[in-house]
């Protein structure tokens, strides 16, 4: 797995999206969280087709933070099964990747 990743989650309200983003930044689990929305989601849930307006969070971080991000989202998310997926950042400018590394370090790992 790449050292640098983006993590995605969706949530039902702008207020909740900003709360998650703010907390992940305060915990130093993310260097940046982008919030977009509202978006329209169409999906299957418990055998029925559903649709919803949601907000999407794109979390820029280090792969070592994925467990902490997953735990935080699961604990603080209203959905029974929240979306938590990631993709590797295959390439990024050296300065940008260094910025992620500097700003997405858990507090107990900071010098």
Residue with token string 């994925």: 66
The single-letter DSSP state of residue 81 is S
Q: What are residue 31's DSSP bridge partners?
A: none
- pLDDT at position 107: 52
- pLDDT at position 17: 98
- pLDDT at position 56: 98
The structure tokens listed for 73 are: 């989202």
CA distances from 92 to 48, 61, 88 (A): 40, 13, 11
CB atoms within 10 A of CB 43: 12
Q: Label residue 2 by pLDDT band (50, 70, 90).
A: confident
What are the domain boundaries of the chain?
Answer: 4-109
Whole-angstrom Cα distance, residue 89 to residue 99?
Answer: 14
Whole-angstrom Cα distance, residue 104 to residue 93?
Answer: 16
Whole-angstrom Cα distance, residue 90 to residue 73?
Answer: 24
Note the pLDDT tens digit of each residue in 45-98. Answer: 999 999 999 999 999 999 999 999 999 999 999 999 999 999 999 999 999 999
CATH assignment, 4-109: 3.30.70.120
CB atoms within 10 A of CB 107: 9
Residue with token string 């070592």: 64
Q: What is the reported pTM? A: 0.92
């Amino acid at each position: 797995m790449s050292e640098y990743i983006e993590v995605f989650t969706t949530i039902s309200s702008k207020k909740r999206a900003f709360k998650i983003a703010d907390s992940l930044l305060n915990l130093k689990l993310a260097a940046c969280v982008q919030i977009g929305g509202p978006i329209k989601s169409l999906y299957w849930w418990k055998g029925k087709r559903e649709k919803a307006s949601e907000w999407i969070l794109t979390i820029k971080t280090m792969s070592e933070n994925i467990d902490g991000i997953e735990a935080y989202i699961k604990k603080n998310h209203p959905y029974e099964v929240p979306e938590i997926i990631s993709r590797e950042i295959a390439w990024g400018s050296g300065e940008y990747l260094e910025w992620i590394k500097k700003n997405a370090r858990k507090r107990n790992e900071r010098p």
